Amino acid sequence: MASEVAYRLFEDELIDLVLCFSPSLSVAHGIKETFSRRLNCHFNGEIGAIGKSLTYQAIQYLDNSFWQTIRKYRVLVIFDEIHHCSGSSQEVANAWGQQILVKIQGLAKYTLALSGTPWRSDALPIVMAEYTDPEGQLVCDYQYTLAQAVNDGVCRSPKIVLIDNEKLTIATDEGDKSYPSILELLKSSNISYRNVIFNNQAVEYLVRLACDKLSEIRKESPNAGGLVVAASVEHAKSLCNLLRNKFNQKATIVTYKHDDALAEINRFKNGVTEWIVSVGMISEGTDIPRLQVCCHMSSVKTELYFRQVLGRILRVNNSPNQEALVIYVRRRKPSFNSRSNGTRYP
């Protein structure tokens, strides 16, 4: 959509250049490819290009000559996942938000700020956003919902599978204790959610369920892939080994400790390997449409993170099967409204 907006502004001779900012290298690379294809030109900031895709982190390293050059042109600036940038003023802005307020806010002819999760877990205001007073509700110029996207056929309808257990027994010094659900176990004992997602039996159950579902989908769509979201690098390694050795699946792993993580993500995106295991490298904005199953075993609890991970399996492609399934352990009552079908497994 953002590339289409840029295309039409160029057609109407309303802009000269486009700058795109996003939170990670993988997202910035995806934007570069999309804009190059839609605008039919280089999008690398070099001679002859009409734009460039950068990370928010890169803003602080652009020198004065860059900004002086940009000021000579009519520029469309696109901010992807703008919720990463907070601050209603320079004094209270985070590092990325401050860079936007100081260097970009008064520079752009047009701005387009995008977010699939337009709020922050710390409740701070999003940079450049408008809020109602005194309610503090975000004012959006346009909102395109998941329900609309599903109806329009541009997103898959997600199915959320909540894993629970109605007959949990834990051995303690006082004897065995039983719990009617994982939620009750977490509330009434010293067992943490991290204990659950590191438990061998629980992990094998989740992974087996995910593998069975992916195998079913791949009968119709042979290149369909799955994502496992791990809680740590060691957890990711363990899960990758489990997929390979226990379930005979081809799997690759990407974490912040991998120097070639972006290249590995691109190889998986364009390949046929069944699984990719990640800690935080594949969440918001990462464009891998062949992902259709997600096994969510992260210890991050925020709704924002869950929604971002869910979004990785919703992008439609040309495959015959367009199912989308996310599997995770039920640790609380869902706090979000969803039009998807929920399934509670024993």
Domain assignments of the chain as residue spans, ordered by start: 2-143, 155-345
Does pLDDT of 194 surpass 60? Answer: yes
pLDDT score recorded for residue 248 = 97
Residue 334 has pLDDT above 90, yes or no: no
Per-residue pLDDT, 340: 35
- The reported pLDDT for the residue numbered 342 is 38
Would you say the CATH fold of 155-345 matches that of 2-143?
yes
Where does 2-143 sit in CATH, by number?
3.40.50.10810
**Average pLDDT of the residues of the chain:** 89
pLDDT bin (cut points 50, 70, 90) of residue 333 is low
pTM over cut 0.85: no
N residues, the chain: 346
Mean pLDDT of 127-145: 89
What percentage of residues in the chain have a pLDDT greater than 90? 59
CATH number for the domain running over 155-345: 3.40.50.300
Please write the tens of the pLDDT for every residue from 244-296: 999 999 999 998 887 788 889 989 999 999 999 998 777 766 889 999 999 99
Residue 338: pLDDT over 60: no
Residue 339 pLDDT: 35
